[in-house]
Structure formats: structure tokens, C-alpha cells
Amino acid sequence: MKASDVKEKILSALSAAEIPDAQTDTALILREICGISRADLLADPDKEVAEEAAQKALALTEQRAQRIPLQQLFGTACFMGLDFTVTEDVLCPRPDTEILTEEVLRELTDGSRFLELCTGSGCIAVSLLRYSNDCTGIATDLSEKALEIARKNADAILGETSDALTFLQGDLWEALGDSEERFDFVISNPPYIPAGDIPSLMPEVRLHEPVMALDGGADGLDFYRRILEEAPRRLKGGGQIFLEIGYDQGAAVSRLCEEAGLIEISVIRDYGGNDRVVRAMRPVLNG
């Protein structure tokens, strides 16, 4: 089949299914499955695509038309310039979460030790280690299946240095068991969507991503309450917490930080101008 014909078939199937950005997804499928870039298509629209690749692209298009996220279909997502394996057991890494990761990276120094709660695909913890020196961390998740993916990502991206990251299964702090360790940084992108908002999320998210990674309880703040209740006992003096938040949760999460006795609380925006990260510090002189 000619490249331009494959393209037309993909595009018309995705458009008929009302996929929001059908043009972009068409280009991505052509490139990923058939090895044909936009430039290739312009230069030589009649280029023959091997039958097997064309059929594979069309089969994948049918699945995309069922609103399965493209990253799940490809099995990978790019985050911080790195390729992460993703499945339906983890939230696809979001570009917004790069803001959180970059803010933490700005503060990490050689030898820093961090704890990441609700690691999912591991994209935050693995990126932090990939772009820093001599840091170590613990990453936790309630989902054993998510931890399997996160371990795989750590091995693939960090190679021999993946032993700088320890993965622990458990419900937030419970994953730490009897340990009383304090950390330089506590980081989390917890579930924060108010339960009642979940039915109105995009079908890609609502139907194909793990709801346990999204549902933040009635007001979306359940995880922040549980994280901030314990955070002061888990941060070293001068240690910092970084939390990803929903666009309208800046004030509420800042208040929870204040109630926990944390200081230097700030809300950081994403590139879309929405509040995205709350950062706070445990005072140095505080028992």
C-alpha cells in the first residue's frame, strides 16, 4: 500500500472515531509503526509500505479508535527526554509532571536522598537519578504491577546505577515499615482528581488508565492529607516536600502544609499558567 493511502485510512478511521488530535496521532502511528515521518510523506507519498507494517498500523488504529491511549499502544511514553515503558497498570507520564521533576532537580545536590510516594511508572524517581549525581532514593506504590513497570524502567534507563533506587510496595507511608528514616526530599504526584469528576474525564483516562492513580477521594485532597500528616516526621530539618497538584488545589494544599508546620510554602505554575506544584520545607530548628 502507498504511504499516502495508509495515511488516509488511519486519518479517516481516527476522525470517524472523533479522536481529538487525529492528525497528530496519524503522524505518530505512521512514524512509529511504518517508519514514515511527515517529511518522508511529503517527499514521496507513493512510497510503498510493506504489507505487514500497513496492517499493523491499521490494527493499532482500530484500537486507538477505542480510545486506548497511544502511549499504551506503543508501550512507551517520552518523559524528560527518556523513554518509559507504560501499560494500563500505570498512569502515562504527563508533560505537566516534568515541571515537578525539574523543580526537584533544581534543588538536588550530590548525595541527596529522596522518597517518592505513588511512583507509578517510576518516571519521576528515575528521571531524578538520571539527571543528578550520587543521589539515592526510595520509590513506593500500592500497586505491585506498577512497581514491576517502575523497576523495569529503572533498569532500562539507569542501567548499573539502578541500585540507587529502592522500590517498596505499600499504602503511602506504610511502605516504609518500621524504618524511621528522614529524607532530604519527599516527592509525590498522588491521585488528586475529586471522585465525582472522574466520569467526566476523557475516555482515554477514564476507561484505560488505572483509576487508583487518579481518585483523590471526595474533594481530591485525601492523599495530601495523609502525606502531610506524616511528612514533618519524614523530612530532615531543611528538607523539602514537592507535591504535584490539580489546577485549583494550590490554596488547599498550601493550607495543609501550613497546618503541618511546614514553612516557605510556594505554589509553582506549569507552562499552561496553571498551579501545578506545591513546595514546602521543614524548619531547620524544630525538634
Strand order in the sheet with 235-244: 165-169, 136-141, 113-117, 183-188, 235-244, 275-281, 263-269
Nearer to ligand GLN (CB atom), residue 34 or residue 245: 245
Nearer to ligand GLN (CB atom), residue 33 or residue 84: 84
- Residue with nearest beta carbon to ligand GLN: 192
Output the smallest distance, CB 250 to ligand GLN, in A.
Answer: 14
**By CB under 6 A, is residue 70 in contact with ligand GLN?**
no
**By CB under 6 A, is residue 250 in contact with ligand GLN?**
no
CB 86 within 8 A of CB 121: yes
What is the distance between the alpha carbons of residues 138 and 146, in angstroms, rounded to a whole number? 15
Which residues contact residue 139 at a Cβ distance below 8 angstroms, ignoring those fewer than 6 apart?
Answer: 115, 116, 119, 122, 125, 150, 165, 166, 167, 168
**By CB under 6 A, is residue 192 in contact with ligand GLN?**
yes
What ranges in 186-249 are assigned the alpha helix state H?
A: 203-208, 222-234
CB 253 within 8 A of CB 221: yes
Nearer to ligand GLN (CB atom), residue 69 or residue 135: 69
- 61 sits in which H/E element: helix 51-65
What is the distance between the alpha carbons of residues 119 and 152, in angstroms, rounded to a whole number? 13
Q: Annotate each residue in 90-109 with x if it binds ligand GLN (CB under 6 A) or - if it does not, as one string.
A: ----x-x-------------
Nearer to ligand GLN (CB atom), residue 276 or residue 282: 276
**By CB under 6 A, is residue 188 in contact with ligand GLN?**
no
**Binding piece for ligand GLN, criterion CB under 6 A, among 15-23, 80-88, 158-166, 183-191:** 183-191
Determine how many CB atoms are found less than 10 A away from the CB of residue 39.
Answer: 8
Nearer to ligand GLN (CB atom), residue 45 or residue 272: 272
**Binding piece for ligand GLN, criterion CB under 6 A, among 72-80, 99-107, 127-135, 186-194:** 186-194
**By CB under 6 A, is residue 193 in contact with ligand GLN?**
yes
Contacts of ligand GLN in 195-214 (CB under 6 A):
205, 214
Nearer to ligand GLN (CB atom), residue 99 or residue 214: 214
Which residues contact residue 210 at a Cβ distance below 8 angstroms, ignoring those fewer than 6 apart?
Answer: 88, 89, 90, 91, 143, 146
**Listed residue (155, 160, 171, 172) closest to 115, CA to CA:** 172
**Binding piece for ligand GLN, criterion CB under 6 A, among 140-148, 154-162, 165-173, 189-197:** 189-197
Residue ranges in contact with ligand GLN by CB under 6 A: 94, 96, 189-193, 205, 214
